[in-house]
Amino acid sequence: MIALVHQGWLENADGVSKGILNTMAAQIKGAAAIYGGHSHQSFASVIPSNTRVAPVVIGQTRNSGVEYTRTQICMNNGKVVGQSIEHVLKSASATMTTGIVSTITTQDVAAAAMVKKYKDQLTGKLDVRIGKVSGVFPRGGSPAVERSGETPIGNYIADLMRAKHKTDFAIQNGGGIRDTFPAKTYIPVNPALVRTGTGPRWW
């Protein structure tokens, strides 16, 4: 069993690793590995085994795909007997000679087929023109505009939620705004659905 937790390691203080990830990892039972996130920091550790509990590896990488973990789990008769974990920078993968290179640079056929299956199901729902906007709503920057105060796209999302659920008010957290509007990261099957150049953009 592999556990994915959207909580992170925060610091090493008084000789102890601290953070919600660490607290939760100590409470999760039956997982051979636990991976966290959220705090966007590198962290790796192993909860040692005893006569009743198998060892548990804990890992966390920085965000935006700049880093990966290489985890090895050794098993004997279905039981975990040992583990190791190390961090690998994506930028360093080209200079490495170990098997991790193929893991990073070569697409897994089975995984790609699974992603395509679900993407094909979403196409009919997402590739539909429902309106147009006069520009691209900004996001990002340092500090990120959507995390620094009121933004047009935040207002728009909140207004949509309020209208949909017929409430008196709605709140959209800045961290939940993950792309521009229209989205630059989503490419429809029919590229004609994306208006380019100046003027209104379809969405």
Per-residue pLDDT at 201 = 58
- Domain with 139, as residue range(s), is 113-202
The residue among 88, 106, 124 that closes a domain is 106
Task: Based on the fold, state whether residues 193 and 156 are members of the same structural domain.
Answer: yes
Task: Based on the fold, state whether residues 102 and 120 are members of the same structural domain.
Answer: no
Residue type at 166? Answer: K
Per-residue pLDDT at 123 = 87
Q: Are 63 and 31 in contact (CB under 8 A)?
A: no
Task: Based on the fold, state whether residues 67 and 84 are members of the same structural domain.
Answer: yes
pLDDT value at 107 more than 80: no
d(CA 7, CA 118): 27
The residue among 89, 106, 123 that closes a domain is 106
| Residues forming a β-bridge with 138 | none
Instruction: Average the pLDDT over 98-123 and give the result.
Output: 75
Task: Based on the fold, state whether residues 128 and 154 are members of the same structural domain.
Answer: yes
Instruction: Average the pLDDT over 133-143 and give the result.
Output: 80
**Could you identify the residue written with the tokens 């699974």?**
114
